[in-house]
Amino acid sequence: MNFTSFHPTPRTLMGPGPSDVSPRVLSALSRPTIGHLDPEFVAMMDELKALLKYAFQTENELTMPVSAPGSAGMETCFVNLIEPGEKVIVCVNGVFGTRMVENVERIGATAIVVNDDWGKPVDIEKVKKAFSEHPDVACLAFVHAETSTGVLSDAKALCQIARDNGALSIVDAVTSLGGVELRVDDWGIDAVYSGSQKCLSCVPGISPVSFSPKAVEKLKSRKTKVPSWFLDQSLVMNYWGGEGKRTYHHTAPVNAMYALHESLLLLKQEGLENAWQRHKDQHELLKKGLTELGIEFIVDEAYRLPQLNTVVIPAGVDDAEVRGKLLNDYNLEIGAGLGIFAGKAWRIGLMGYAAREENVALCLTALKSALAK
């Protein structure tokens, strides 16, 4: 077999992620690789932390990018803050809540599961009831923006319940960071993780995380070792710390960090609230066009994610055939349904750089053509 350089066909990515990447971010990837302890790289790390703090709206000192995808960010929060034998209330209203349960159980802790229907937000009253029945709970964990369904839950209210009951909060913000309102400090979030490939429109493979002072205190007072060496924040913080000499922990993905820095710089230059509004505006355009095509949304407008639109596949339409036509005829990717929505729904992403009028127009034109055929 003769091997040649790989040159993928350019696609417009309007699925659940990864999202379209800005040319500026792709250009940043190609800059010269330098050492991960080079003074210039260390200076860039400090800027990267400051930009992440802005994106998360936090002053948490332990705010940094984990050198691995969002799933590792999730595991980072759980393995650092949860110990064997502890109880964790986990809210499940889609695929990614179930992954939280898996993390809790693998640590040797007990997951108290609060279930809600797919397509619905986390029920505040159910969470209150779970706390009243289990007053010794150590932590509340939930997904802010459930990527499998396109549902936004009330993170501010849920974190308040955790605080009222003396528990920490762990929040999945993989699809919400940069796309909808997220205020880590104002809402009292203790640990939060996200992903580079969603509304930040960076390349996949990095997971921004942030830990509150209360969470850091819990980490430092653990009775047992963090079960993951690589994800142990008490070790990594000495590499990402702001003062003194940086202690080598692992070789950071240098060029990927350039890309994340550039994507966060783009967010800062646009303005966080402007980015939130842009996602909302493009969602309204998409909604108008889909309604004209007779395509209905699964999620109620009151808690619908503007950046991840879950819609009902029209009766008699072949899911895979339509997505195949979009990919082959228009180089356009949209997402299939997950779990109970498999074969019944499409997930149309408007995340980050993909949330533009030309993308909405392409998606509507392509769908109209594919459905007509």
Q: What is the pLDDT of residue 236?
A: 87
Are the beta carbons of 79 and 227 closer than 8 angstroms?
yes
Are the beta carbons of 335 and 349 closer than 8 angstroms?
yes
Instruction: Please compute, for residue 144, the number of CA atoms within 13 A of its CA located in the half-sphere on the CB side.
Output: 28
What are the structure tokens assigned to 316, written together? 């008699």
CA–CA–CA angle 164, 168, 170 (5° rounding): 125
288-322 tens-digit pLDDT: 999 999 999 999 999 999 999 999 999 999 999 99
What single-letter amino acid sits at 89?
A: I
Tell me the mean pLDDT in the region 209-226.
Answer: 97
Continuous segment of H or E residues that includes residue 94:
none
Band of residue 242 on the pLDDT scale cut at 50, 70, 90: low
Q: What is the pLDDT of residue 245?
A: 67
> For residues 337 and 334, what is the distance between their CA atoms, to the nearest angstrom?
10
Strand pairing of 87-92 and 139-143? parallel
Are the beta carbons of 158 and 127 closer than 8 angstroms?
yes
What are the structure tokens assigned to 335, written together? 């997402």
148-193 tens-digit pLDDT: 999 999 999 999 999 999 999 999 999 999 999 999 999 999 999 9
Predicted confidence (pLDDT) at residue 16 exceeds the cutoff of 70: yes
Lowest-confidence segment of 15-19, 181-185, 241-245, 303-307 by average pLDDT = 241-245
Task: Identify the CA nearest to 272 among candidates 62, 52, 78, 68.
Answer: 52
Stated pTM of the model: 0.96
> For residues 365 and 13, what is the distance between their CA atoms, to the nearest angstrom?
15
Q: What is the pLDDT of residue 205?
A: 97
What are the structure tokens assigned to 26, written together? 């792709």
Are the beta carbons of 195 and 73 closer than 8 angstroms?
yes
Tell me the mean pLDDT in the region 204-209.
Answer: 98
Task: Identify the CA nearest to 55 among candidates 185, 169, 163, 157.
Answer: 185
Q: Give the helix ranges, DSSP H, for 192-309.
A: 213-220, 233-240, 254-270, 272-292
Identify the residue whose tokens are 């549902």. Answer: 151
Tell me the mean pLDDT in the region 72-97.
Answer: 98
Q: How many percent of the chain have pLDDT more than 70? A: 99
Identify the residue whose tokens are 């209905």. Answer: 296
The average confidence (pLDDT) of the chain is 96
Distances (CA, A) of 47 to 69, 197, 332, 366: 21, 20, 34, 41
Helix (H, G, I), strand (E, B) or coil at 230: coil
> For residues 96 and 151, what is the distance between their CA atoms, to the nearest angstrom?
12
Predicted confidence (pLDDT) at residue 253 exceeds the cutoff of 80: yes
Burial class (CB in 10 A: 0-12, 13-18, 19+), 121: buried
Q: Phi and psi at residue 153, in whole multiples of 5°?
A: -100, 160
Band of residue 244 on the pLDDT scale cut at 50, 70, 90: low
Q: What is the pLDDT of residue 237?
A: 82
Burial class (CB in 10 A: 0-12, 13-18, 19+), 337: buried
Q: What is the pLDDT of residue 243?
A: 60
102-145 tens-digit pLDDT: 999 999 999 999 999 999 999 999 999 999 999 999 999 999 99
Torsion of CA 96, 102, 103, 105, to 10 degrees: 150
What are the structure tokens assigned to 176, written together? 């919400």
314-344 tens-digit pLDDT: 999 999 999 999 999 999 999 999 999 999 9
